[in-house]
Chain A
Amino acid sequence: MSAVQQKSRARAFIVSLDALFLLLVVIYLVVPLIATLVFGLQGGKGLDVHSYQEIFTDKNFGQTLQLSLELALATTLLAVILVTPTVYWVQMRLPGVRIVLDILSLIPFAVPPIIMSLGLLEVYGSSNLLINVLSLGLVPILSNNPFNIVNTPQLLVCAYVIVALPYVYRPIDNSMRAINTTVLTEAAYSLGSGWWRTFLRIIMPNIWPGIISAALLTFSTVMGEFTLASLFGIFTFPIYLNEVGQSDAHKAASLAVLSFLLTLLCVLGIILLVRRRPGQQVEIAAAR
């Protein structure tokens, strides 16, 4: 064996260290999925789909899933509608204010859902002079009829928008900065396009990948959110999952598999919709 061969063998050993860890991590990530799938199918004796049949005939399954889907859809729409024009507006008109948006999108990391739910219950649950003044009188309007949002799904949607803010703001801001918004906007204006038209017809199509990532990440976050719904007492899909899981571990395993499939769909959506847009590359390249 030549010296060169020995050296390359020694290098192969060093290389295999990170490959080994990669393999271990993949095994660690895959084993619970397979185990859960099999465990869910083991409901009776041997292999059967009994637990899945029970789940699909359960009235609560359909109802909570529908509620969660509606909440996720509403949150996604509200988040994208609220954030996208704001990011564009700030980039064009007030570039100095970007730091404020950065900070606002970092706050959810420092105020996790458990603290947010506590705070929201206090803000909208009781009358507090300081809060009434600081909110410019909006909180008393929102916590009394006819616009009472205390403990309603509407308040939950608003809270979810904040929880999802980092996942919405980052991708949209990144893709907005990747295209040259100033040049695009000036070109559109010089051709007689107005603000909204420019935003909807020029900017939106160019940052579509960012919006899709933001939307699907928000969607999958809301579908799995447990903390806020539990403290607000709203019966969503994860709450149902927790309730069932306490009485029947096999059914819970099957439900866990179903929610994994839901997450899978969202992420596949991001990958397929964002990566495979042949026209996209050209448009962005033209904008630079």
Chain B
Amino acid sequence: MQLPATGDEVGASSIGTAQAKSRRRDKIRWSYTLTSWLGLLPFLLFCLLFEILPAVIILEGSFVDSNTNAPTLNNYQRLLSVPSNIHAFQNSVALSAVTALLGSIIGFLASYGIYRLRSNWLRNFLIGFSSIAANFAGVPLAFAFVATLGVTGFVTVFLKNMLHLDLYNLGFSIYTFWGLVLVYLYFQLPLMILVSVPALAVLRPEWREAATNLGASGTTYWRRIALPVLLPSLIAAALLLFANAFGAYATAYALAQGNINIVPILISFVVAGNVGIDVGLGNALAVGMMVVLVVAVFIYTAMLRRVSVWQGR
């Protein structure tokens, strides 16, 4: 690493040369900073072209009439005046919140189970399996659940033949809200396990010993020590799960071919559907989604910053 020219080591020199040297030093320092930034240029340009500008154009486009290019709030008015658009947001938020909540509670309990396992081999196996399952999303996941719990799915038929239990007569359907919750949990639970097993490592055995020595019961230990320490990571994990479900498109699309009213599917219909393209409304819907997600990501990072206190970083 070339270090910037520092300190004038030759002491006895005239004022003139000292000034010239300091000027040269400034020049070197300046060119050093410039090359530093130049090295960053390819990455920054790439992000500008394919990450920042798409977000900027959506934000701009949501305030512009897509036919006349005049500034307008019409896109947002149309978003708010149609009840099915509002329903899409309600469904999306409810679906993401329910799967994030169930996913983080059940997933946390399961990862505590993994954390307490005595067998290292089994623990590594379960973590490896979780990372496979967390990556198994989208179209294949939807078809796997159709094959499992669809009308002619393996488990549906099995329950009907063996236990005379007809799920679809009982009102269950994989294509409804709760069916979708069941499908989404397939990638939410493993993700929670992957995130919270490392988070559990901050719990030191000494804390438990100290608490027990001072007369604390298991419940007190959890309520007063373990949970307060873990809470920021759990909240961060829940928000990650929320964002993960909120942006998911392929799973729901492949499952019901668009017969579920959630925002990502609505956007794809508005901008690429058969009915007629309304880019302005699509932009307004996308901005609505981004606002929800930015809030989630912001709280997520704020929580992670609190976690780092316990990890001593």
Contact = CB atoms under 8 A, between A and B. Distances in A.
A29 B140 CA distance: 14
Q: How many of chain B's residues touch chain A, expressed as a range?
A: 35 or more
B94 to A, nearest CB: 18
B143 interface: yes
B237 interface: no
Contacts, number: 278
B80 interface: no
Given A35-B155, A106-B301, A158 B50 contact: yes
Contacts of B185: 28
B132 interface: yes
Contact of A94 (B40, B139, B218, B293): B40
Nearest to A128: B57
B1 A112 contact: no
B303 to A, nearest CB: 13
B195 to A, nearest CB: 12
A38 B154 contact: yes
Contacts of A189: 1-2
Contacts of A280: none
B268 to A, nearest CB: 6
B1 A264 contact: no
A120 interface: yes
A111 interface: yes
A89 B36 CA distance: 8
Contacts of B55: 107, 111, 115, 119
Interface in B260-313: 264, 267-268, 271-272, 279, 282-283, 286, 289-290, 293-294, 296-297, 300-301
Of listed A86, A110, A253, residue having the most chain B CB within 10 A? A110
Given A226-B254, A263-B132, A114 B268 contact: yes
Interface residues of A, number: 98
B135 A122 contact: no
**Interface residues of chain A: helix, strand, loop or mixed (majority):** helix
B51 A108 contact: yes
A61 interface: no
A71 B95 CA distance: 32
A31 B153 CA distance: 12
Given A18-B110, A21-B110, A35-B154, A115 B133 contact: no
A118 B140 contact: no
B232 interface: no
Given A93-B39, A115-B58, 6 more contacts: A21-B113, A94-B40, A110-B297, A118-B54, A217-B135, A231-B268
18 contacts: A29-B190, A35-B153, A36-B143, A39-B148, A94-B36, A97-B40, A107-B52, A110-B290, A113-B249, A119-B286, A131-B56, A138-B45, A165-B51, A220-B135, A225-B250, A226-B250, A260-B140, A267-B128
